[in-house]
């Protein structure tokens, strides 16, 4: 009887909240209050223009940072859903891959200005008279700067699952549903998390364009750090620009400590290795949660339900056997033929619509001009990606193989990736104008300023995912020097590098829109390229030139990716995967 009483008392003490529960509860309540306060402004009545509500007063920056953070978080949630659905279908279906991957190439290259030009009216029409329509348009614009990179990363991981793990799944008779949640998704998690950080940081690069929305003659500037920064640039207020940069730093540090650092530490359990890693990632937020009683009890039931769902043996329905059955290869060829006809018909119809829209106001000379300008931008993008790769691949490998160093570098890398390029534009404009520099050369660096971090984050993620047991085998065999680089680590991170370089290339095409045409107050500097062409057409409201520029850019991007990056991706998938 006494032993039962002691056991019951001990159980009761374990069930009661402890001091860590109160600390965690305070953090959770603070988050809910922030979300409630920011959401209230998102559904307020819309007045046109709302620019008058913005102010360069420093005291407004915390609220502006909250609004921007909520938009980026909502875009990240939508990007995750898109990634799991879109990338999985592309990786699992050969016919779907023929359409979805080239479409993804185009989507990541189409400038955000192009998305906003044709989607903002749609979102405003959904919620007339409410700020929510403009908020959804801004969230969608940020989504377009986050989702493509994450989808490419998840697709690449699903296509490069080690063959021995595939054999284990077959040996355990996993259904496709079980195989996805028990093998493929955990294997893809480390790379996906690093690309989530890159996507979140990359969203800051275009936050100005997403929060300052133009609809006809009306300009809607939503409260946020991006619109604050745009207002500071127009007013030539260097102090306000620096204040916006400081706010960005604080938001990035908050994201790093409260979101990314905990999930990076959690993702370490998904590494593919036979021996335990020597260094484990740490997170004080994760440790705080593990020490709580009440919060852990709250998530126990949902976690068990998710485990049961992941272990359910869901299989695609099988058709009944028939007496007369065509050979499988004939059925496959028939479906391929029908599929190609449908794709060709849709492509032809799309090109016909583009031609009809553009030919009303433009001539053949405009097409020749856009082709030449796109060639300029293509050369600029290729050279910059090569230079960035030569520098950042060795540096990223060095960081990724040292988890302690990666843990310290992580917030710095996020800040550098998220550093608003608009802050550098005034310096570029002043230098080009004052010293009569060539804009085609000196504005080129702005293109890769934000996109080079796709290579950095992906290669760091690949180096961190490199199996520890293989590293130990390399040490035992005494492989060093150039042989270690050539035969071990470069092949090991090559698939990750291709994913990073591919997304960096697409991001560079997108970044050309804001980097080839920069301004500081009334001073404007333009380089020769399709980016400046689209930016100037957008500023003038010439939709025919916008469509023509985006169409020609998309065709070049598809050819560029198909002739260069896709063969390299196939090489990494066939020969340079960790078996």
Give tens-digit pLDDT for 491-543. Answer: 888 888 888 888 788 778 877 877 788 776 677 788 888 888 888 887 777 77
Question: Does any domain span residue 522?
Answer: yes
CA distance 72 to 61: 16
Q: What proportions of the chain, in percent to the nearest 5, are helix, strand and coil?
A: 80, 5, 20
Degrees to nearest 5, angle at CA 496 with 494 and 500? 115
Residue 578 has pLDDT above 60, yes or no: no
Q: What is the mean pLDDT of residues 455-478?
A: 81
Question: Does any domain span residue 190?
Answer: yes
Question: Does any domain span residue 418?
Answer: yes
- CATH code, domain carrying 555: 1.10.3720.10
Q: Which pLDDT tens digit goes with each residue over 85-140?
A: 999 998 888 777 877 877 776 676 666 655 565 677 777 777 776 777 788 888 88
| Amino acid 219: pLDDT | 66
Residue 401 has pLDDT above 80, yes or no: yes
Number of domains the chain contains: 1
Question: Does any domain span residue 347?
Answer: no
Residue 353 has pLDDT above 90, yes or no: no
**Among candidate residues 220, 229, 223, the one with its CA nearest the CA of residue 248:** 229
Interhelix angle 225-234/238-255, rounded to 10 degrees, is: 160
The boundaries of the domain holding residue 190 are 19-272+279-315+354-574
Choose the weakest-confidence range: 127-141, 263-277, 373-387.
263-277
Give burial (CB, 10 Å; 0-12/13-18/19+) of 292: buried
Q: Which pLDDT tens digit goes with each residue over 556-566?
A: 887 887 788 77
pLDDT confidence band for 395 (50 / 70 / 90): very high
Q: Which pLDDT tens digit goes with each residue over 479-489?
A: 888 888 888 88
Question: Does any domain span residue 333?
Answer: no
Question: Does any domain span residue 3?
Answer: no
Whether the Cβ atoms of residue 532 and residue 76 lie closer than 8 Å to each other: no
Q: Which residues of 270-281 are buried (b: 16+ CB within 10 A; e: fewer)?
A: bbbeeeebeeeb
| Amino acid 324: pLDDT | 46
Choose the weakest-confidence range: 135-139, 194-198, 271-275, 434-438.
271-275
Question: Does any domain span residue 324?
Answer: no
**93 membership: H or E segment, kind and range:** none
| Amino acid 78: pLDDT | 92
Residue 420 has pLDDT above 90, yes or no: no
Question: Does any domain span residue 148?
Answer: yes
């Amino acid at each position: 009887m006494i032993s039962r009483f002691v056991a019951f008392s001990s159980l009761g003490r374990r069930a009661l909240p402890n001091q860590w529960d109160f600390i965690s509860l305070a953090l959770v309540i603070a988050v809910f209050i922030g979300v409630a306060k920011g959401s209230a402004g998102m559904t307020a009545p819309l007045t046109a223009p709302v620019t008058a509500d913005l102010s360069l007063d420093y005291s407004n920056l915390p609220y502006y940072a909250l609004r921007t953070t909520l938009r980026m978080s909502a875009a990240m949630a939508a990007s995750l859903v898109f990634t799991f659905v879109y990338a999985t279908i592309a990786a699992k279906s050969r016919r779907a891959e023929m359409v979805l991957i080239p479409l993804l190439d185009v989507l990541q290259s189409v400038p955000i200005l192009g998305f906003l030009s044709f989607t903002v009216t749609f979102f405003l029409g959904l919620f007339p008279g409410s700020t929510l329509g403009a908020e959804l348009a801004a969230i969608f614009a940020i989504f377009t700067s986050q989702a493509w990179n994450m989808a490419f990363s998840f697709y690449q991981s699903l296509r490069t699952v080690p063959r021995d793990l595939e054999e284990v799944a077959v040996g355990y008779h996993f259904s496709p549903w079980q195989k996805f949640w028990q093998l493929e998704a955990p294997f893809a998690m480390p790379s996906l998390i690093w690309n989530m950080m890159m996507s979140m940081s990359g969203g800051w690069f275009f936050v100005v364009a997403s929060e300052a929305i133009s609809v006809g003659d009306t300009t809607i500037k939503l409260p946020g750090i991006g619109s604050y920064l745009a207002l500071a640039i127009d007013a030539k207020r260097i102090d306000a620009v620096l204040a916006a940069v400081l706010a960005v730093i604080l938001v990035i540090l908050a994201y790093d400590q409260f979101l990314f650092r905990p999930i990076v530490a959690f993702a370490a359990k998904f590494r593919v290795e036979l021996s335990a890693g020597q260094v484990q990632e740490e997170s004080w937020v994760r440790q705080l949660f593990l020490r709580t009683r009440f919060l852990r009890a709250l998530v126990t039931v949902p976690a068990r339900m998710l485990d049961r769902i992941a272990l359910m043996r869901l299989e695609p329905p099988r058709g009944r056997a028939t007496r007369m059955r065509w050979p499988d290869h004939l059925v496959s060829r028939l479906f391929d033929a029908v599929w190609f006809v449908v794709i060709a018909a849709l492509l032809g119809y799309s090109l016909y619509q583009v031609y009809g829209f553009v030919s009303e106001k433009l001539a053949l000379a405009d097409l020749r001009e856009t082709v030449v300008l796109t060639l300029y931008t293509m050369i600029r993008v290729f050279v910059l990606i090569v230079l960035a790769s030569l520098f950042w691949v060795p540096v990223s490998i060095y960081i990724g193989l040292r988890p302690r160093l990666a843990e310290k570098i992580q917030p710095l890398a996020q800040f550098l990736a998220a550093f608003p390029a608009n802050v550098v534009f005034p310096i570029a404009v002043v230098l080009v104008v004052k010293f009569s520099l060539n804009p085609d050369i000196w504005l080129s660096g702005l293109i890769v300023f934000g996109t080079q971090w796709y290579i950095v984050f992906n290669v760091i993620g690949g180096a961190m995912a490199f199996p520890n047991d293989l590293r130990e085998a390399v040490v035992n065999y005494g492989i060093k020097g150039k042989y270690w680089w050539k035969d071990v680590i470069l092949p090991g991170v090559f698939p990750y590098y291709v994913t990073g370089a591919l997304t960096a290339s697409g991001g560079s095409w997108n970044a050309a829109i804001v980097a080839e045409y920069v301004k500081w107050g009334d001073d404007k500097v333009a380089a020769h390229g399709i980016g400046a062409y689209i930016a100037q057409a957008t500023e003038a409201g010439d939709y025919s030139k916008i469509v023509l520029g985006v169409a020609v850019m998309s065709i070049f991007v598809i050819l560029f990716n198909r002739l260069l990056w896709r063969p390299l991706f196939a090489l990494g998938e066939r020969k340079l995967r960790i078996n």
